Amino acid sequence: MNNQIQRLFPLLRKTIFISALIIISTISCKINAAPGDTTWVTTFNQNFQNWADVHYANFTLPDTNTHYKKIMMYYTIGCPPAGCDPWDRLGWIRFIQDTNTNYEIARIITPYNIVGGGYPGQCVFVIDVTDFMPLLHNQVRLASYIESWIGGTRGWLVTVKFAYIEGEMTNKPFKVINLWQDNHVLYGDPLDPPESHLPLRNILIDPQTTQAKVRVITTGHGQGNTDNASEFSFKIHTLQVGTTNFDHILWRGDCSANPCSPQGGTWQYARAGWCPGASVIPWENDVTANLTAGQNVTIDYNLQPYENFCRPNNPLCVQGVTCSDCNYNYNGHTEPHYTIQSQLILYKPNPFSSVEILSSEIPETFQLKQNYPNPFNPNTNIEFDLSKSANVKLNVYDIQGKFIETLVNGELTAGSYKAEWNGSGFASGIYVYKLETGGFSETKRMMLVK
């Protein structure tokens, strides 16, 4: 036995050495990641869904406090051995904050039949979820749902991968505020008006906000009603921010160009905000000019006036005369409604937007270098070295010591960096730039000449 153990030692040493190299290589690649490098994380993996149940799971995602410019979601839907659910079903992925709070980050509609000769067999939806960067980091709880009632062994296999792309944004999302979350906003019934589901919101805007967006995902469902609402009804939706209205025609006329095709069924027909076998495109509105940082803003969501006369509680509905059917039969005549999920996304300046990593080698010491060119007009570069990870602050001051601008403020890994300062908005003269890392501080002068 002892001889066997001794013979295993060289193999064990070799295995440990190779494993260590792999770990070091992985860490090194992450520390010295270049713009455009991508970190992939798989969450739900071939998750079988064939009933209208919410599937919950916990995952570990990258830390987004520093250097990612984009997060893309790759949602793949495939068929189990027994086959897919052949009907167009609503599905979504949500971030779960707690039992009372969740955020829908993506919505898809499943395709009709995609199995057989010439059919794709599976579909991949690529969705930009960068706005949810304040949520999608570190330890998260996600939920996956498909409104399928097929049961048995048919259904869907859901795989969700996230691609975190290295780089910097000028303005970075820092807060996501839910506005309206209602999966069944009844449309066309005076006894249950949409306004009761979509109340006016009054939101305090954080003082550091420099940009804001309202993101809305709405899909219309139900048919056989007046105007064939809501799935096949061409209606205007209006977002009011402060005193400004943003109008949107909720309609997808491009279903015949669906990348998840061909399919069985009527997938080519235009619909109210969606296509079978496609992700739902968010309605996005830049509302920066319609609000003021540090103050409240009112936000409202309104639907085009409409009444569905083919409803059970309409006393004037005459079966087979005014409407082919006055009762909902959950087949050709279903209740008209909208599924609405929306958020206000707030952005603030990214202190790393002007920072570029220069070298993969770890410097021996902390060092702040002289800017170049110097004198300059209007741009100049400031390089600095970090011998280990540190919380870095790089500020610019005038010659009297008055604060001018922050170029870097946050955690950086060891390496050599370059930051750029644009002095186009400032007068000619001598300026001071100062690097602080906690245990290290250095100051240098530069001259702006116009």
Domains present along the chain, CATH in parentheses: 32-169 (2.60.120.230), 170-250+281-350 (2.60.120.230), 355-448 (2.60.40.1930)
Instruction: Identify the bridge partners of residue 296 per DSSP, sorted by sequence position.
Output: 204
- What residue has token string 């008209």? 336
Q: Which residue has the higher pLDDT, 148 or 167?
A: 148
Check whether the bond before 315 is cis (ω within 30° of 0): no
pLDDT of residue 32: 47
Quote the tokens at residue 290.
């319609």
Task: Give the tens place of pLDDT for each residue, 79-107.
Answer: 999 999 999 999 999 999 999 999 999 99
pLDDT of residue 66: 63
Instruction: Identify the bridge partners of residue 78 per DSSP, sorted by sequence position.
Output: 122, 157
pLDDT of residue 41: 98
Task: Give the tens place of pLDDT for each residue, 395-405.
Answer: 999 999 999 98
Q: Which residue has the higher pLDDT, 301 or 33?
A: 301
- Whole-number mean pLDDT of the chain? 91
Give mean pLDDT, residues 414-436. 93
Quote the tokens at residue 286.
């830049």
What is the rounded CA–CA span in Å between residue 52 and residue 50? 7
pLDDT of residue 20: 39
**pTM of the entire structure?**
0.81
- What residue has token string 């550091």? 208
Give mean pLDDT, residues 38-66. 93
pLDDT of residue 425: 83
| pLDDT over 90 percentage in the chain | 80
What is the rounded CA–CA span in Å between residue 53 and residue 50? 8
- Which range has highest mean pLDDT (336-340, 362-366, 424-428)? 336-340
The H or E element that residue 122 is part of is strand 122-128
Give yes or no for a contact between 433 and 426, defined as CB atoms under 8 angstroms apart.
no
**pLDDT band at 52; cut points 50, 70, 90:** very high
Give mean pLDDT, residues 168-191. 95
